[in-house]
Structure 1
Amino acid sequence: MNEVSLNTIRKYIEFNAKENPQSDFVSCPHTNNKISNKQLKINLDKINFYLVNKKKQKKNSIICTLIENSLSSIQLMLGIMYSGMIQVPLNLVAGEEQLSYIVNHSESKIIFASSSNLDLAKKIVNKISSDIEIVEIDKNNFIEKIDNEFEIIKENTNYNDNALLMYTSGTTGKPKGVMLSHENILSGGKNVQISHELKSKDKALCVLPLYHINGLIVTVIGPLVSQSSLVICEKFSTTNFWKYISKFKCTWFSVVPTIISSLLNKYSYDEINSLDLSFVRFGRSASAALAPETHKNFEQKFKIKMIETLGLTESCAPILSNPLPPKKNKYGSSGIPYGNEVIIVDSKFKEISRNTVGQICVRGKNVMKGYYKNLEETKKSFYKDWFLTGDLG
């Protein structure tokens, strides 16, 4: 099967299960469980049957999830997309008002919530007039509790069908629902694969939440499209970060500048020297600018190359990345385009010369279809087929 025919989440899951059935896709340090590519396909077929026959969901049904990083959350997320439905990941720390707006705006009729988030789900639903079903699931063994009697349902999904509806933070107004297709999501994952030269032997440590685009695309879809694997952590822990990398022999990780600072402050040189980190190829930083001094201090202290990147929800994470060694890295820079085109324009949308500040614009298969039920904002966000990021570069 060639790259062109691998154009939906399901097709990649099926391909990996056929080509590398016994290879692990995801491991969980909290449960000491792991799921192979073969088992993942079986589990997602099971979820598909459950959603269609038990929960009466159908193609393009919009399904909200309110779950911390876990084996259940990653499989439910992929299972929704695998089934031709649309996942709406809810930010666990966004607050009741914002979450009730998102659920109401999305027009979803069902929320899957882990036991620890059940009360929050009830508060959200209480603020909405329409009937919404809440399904409580165990974060660790949701799949095991579904009836084992299931049939494989034939795929009815196209590359341009929506797979993910992810809402932006809404710091400057109401959150906007970013519509992302299977093609968008897989292209974002491929851009991660290309920029970081991921191979099947690579293993990512995922500590960022899957309800953000960074954690979801970079450390789940990146491994999926590169036929590699990941270790999923419920959340970042300074105490366990290097322990998990060492135990599972992770070759790379994705973090944000606050985590980098936390790691710098936590570990002494003696503690670092006691760790075996020889198999780590690189770390990557995104979501905010990484101060050059912090960047240099991390590399000096841990002897690990840190790759600074830039990405957006609307572009399925990365649009720019610094290259891996031996190519040149530039401190204080987000890097160069991989897998998409990037230009800098002035206020009249004319491309400007080097060393001139302007707005960053991106074009590519990873760029969103538009904002859900918001044609006005969608039109304002594009000039021809270029997405206007609003960021300066």
Structure 2
Amino acid sequence: MTHNNANTIATHLDKLAQSQPDAIAITAPGRAPLAYARLNRQINKMRNNLNNGGIGRNDRVAVVLPNGPEMAVTILGVMSGASCAPLNPGYQAAEFEFYLNDLEAKALVMEKGNDSPAKSVAVALGIPIMELVFLPEKEAGLFELEVTQPDIAKNTGLAGADDCALVLHTSGTTSRPKIVPLTQSNLCASAGHISNSLCLDRDDRCLNMMPLFHIHGLVAALLSSIWVGGSIVCTQGHRKDLFISCLREFRPTWYSAVPTIHQAILDEVSSSEFVTDSLRFIRSSSSALPPGIFKSLENSFKVPV
């Protein structure tokens, strides 16, 4: 069966790997940077691993990983040939049971050696587990994927434009969380619109401190950066002293965060002497930014918010 894959994340990345193979795509504190050509090879390798584990297009794969470059590359790899469902690694067993059941997940990807309750829940539900072996001595985001239950996938190869790429849930604050499937075309359009609205280009570098299991970090930071051939710094999340050290080491041109993180950053920079001329704007999303924080950000960084 033929399918249209002209408008997918994987085919877009393949074009970037050919046009700018040595350009940095992903980097992280304490890690060597990952170039577009190497990223593309890792994504293709993971898709083949998934196919060998019986996972094909539109099969839902739950991902439970700590924030960082490995999670970013894993999500891109899963989306290249299946449907990715990133879950909060902080969930408890009952929450994992609900989400894995509701997703009808065909597999769970998690870090080898991690004692997350997701593992025991997946075993009880009969969901195959594929384990990531992190390679911290290698470029940021590289890993080996161990497939312990080989199988034959029905729909192998690259995902098509109309295939489901990402599966998220609503917050469930007013009712039972609902599944929100997003196609490859949906994500490509979103990444394109965000990058256009922010006037991003290949010289931009995003500092991401947002969770990659939320649309904020995943689409607004990761996909929008890669869409234009730019680069992204994938951290494990915001923590004290992280922001200033990343400004100095990576010289990002922008970052995106929620108001609580913006306030924490303001507290950090107010107690430190720092100089930055790399930022060209700051983005805030997911909830309303209080006017006081808005003004303090502009006054502290001398860039638009």
Corresponding letter in the other structure for 2:235: C
Alpha carbons 2:164, 2:182 under 8 Å: kept: yes
Residue by residue over 1:90-143, the C-alpha shift from the partner in whole angstroms, topping out at 9 and shown as x without a partner, is: 1123433232111101111311112474332134336x5x31122332345584
SS in 2 for 1:294: helix
State the distance in 2 between where 1:50 and 1:156 align: 13
- Aligned residue-pair number: 290
Deviation, structure 1 residue 242: 1.9
Corresponding letter in the other structure for 2:303: I
2:166 is the alignment partner of 1:164: yes
Q: 1:191 aligns with which of 193, 196, 213?
A: 193
Structure 2 partner of 1:120: 117
Q: Kindly tell me: are residues 86 and 33 of structure 1, through their superposed partners in 2, closer, same or farther at Cα, counting changes over 3 Å?
A: same
State the distance in 2 between where 1:116 and 1:278 align: 41
Structure 2 partner of 1:175: 177
Structure 2 partner of 1:19: 19
Corresponding letter in the other structure for 1:238: K
2:132 is the alignment partner of 1:137: yes
State the distance in 1 between where 2:74 and 2:288 align: 32
State the distance in 2 between where 1:108 and 1:248 align: 37
206-215 vs 110-119, greater mean Cα deviation: 110-119
Q: Percent sequence identity over matched residues?
A: 26
Q: 2:92 aligns with which of 81, 95, 98?
A: 95
Structure 2 partner of 1:36: 35
Q: TM-score, normalised by structure 1?
A: 0.69
State the distance in 2 between where 1:154 and 1:60 align: 10
SS in 2 for 1:267: helix
State the distance in 1 between where 2:217 and 2:185 align: 18
1:226-305 equivalence runs, <5 A: 226-268=228-270, 271=272, 274-305=273-304
Deviation, structure 1 residue 186: 1.1
Deviation, structure 1 residue 146: 4.7
Q: Kindly tell me: are residues 121 and 17 of structure 1, through their superposed partners in 2, closer, same or farther at Cα, counting changes over 3 Å?
A: same
State the distance in 2 between where 1:177 and 1:215 align: 19
SS in 1 for 2:90: coil
Structure 1 partner of 2:151: none
Q: Kindly tell me: are residues 140 and 71 of structure 1, through their superposed partners in 2, closer, same or farther at Cα, counting changes over 3 Å?
A: farther
Alpha carbons 2:244, 2:269 under 8 Å: kept: no
Corresponding letter in the other structure for 2:301: F
Q: Kindly tell me: are residues 184 and 210 of structure 1, through their superposed partners in 2, closer, same or farther at Cα, counting changes over 3 Å?
A: same
State the distance in 2 between where 1:66 and 1:203 align: 26
Q: Kindly tell me: are residues 138 and 304 of structure 1, through their superposed partners in 2, closer, same or farther at Cα, counting changes over 3 Å?
A: farther
131-140 vs 7-16, greater mean Cα deviation: 131-140
SS in 2 for 1:135: strand
Q: Kindly tell me: are residues 265 and 70 of structure 1, through their superposed partners in 2, closer, same or farther at Cα, counting changes over 3 Å?
A: closer
Gaps of 5+ in 1: 148-152, 307-393
Residue by residue over 1:45-99, the C-alpha shift from the partner in whole angstroms, topping out at 9 and shown as x without a partner, is: 111111112x12122111000001222211111011112x000001123433232
State the distance in 2 between where 1:145 and 1:10 align: 19
Alpha carbons 1:67, 1:117 under 8 Å: kept: no
TM-align CA RMSD: 2.2
State the distance in 2 between where 1:291 and 1:144 align: 40
Alpha carbons 1:205, 1:254 under 8 Å: kept: yes
Q: TM-score, normalised by structure 2?
A: 0.88
Alpha carbons 1:86, 1:163 under 8 Å: kept: yes
Structure 2 partner of 1:107: 104
Q: 1:81 aligns with which of 79, 82, 98?
A: 79
State the distance in 2 between where 1:277 and 1:295 align: 18
Q: Kindly tell me: are residues 171 and 115 of structure 1, through their superposed partners in 2, closer, same or farther at Cα, counting changes over 3 Å?
A: farther
Deviation, structure 1 residue 6: 4.9
State the distance in 1 between where 2:142 and 2:268 align: 37
State the distance in 2 between where 1:292 and 1:6 align: 43
SS in 2 for 1:64: strand
Residue by residue over 1:320-376, the C-alpha shift from the partner in whole angstroms, topping out at 9 and shown as x without a partner, is: xxxxxxxxxxxxxxxxxxxxxxxxxxxxxxxxxxxxxxxxxxxxxxxxxxxxxxxxx
State the distance in 1 between where 2:128 and 2:158 align: 25
Alpha carbons 1:162, 1:180 under 8 Å: kept: yes
Q: Which has the higher contact order (CA 8 A, sep 6+)?
A: 2
Deviation, structure 1 residue 201: 0.4
SS in 2 for 1:118: coil
State the distance in 1 between where 2:107 and 2:292 align: 46
SS in 1 for 2:166: strand
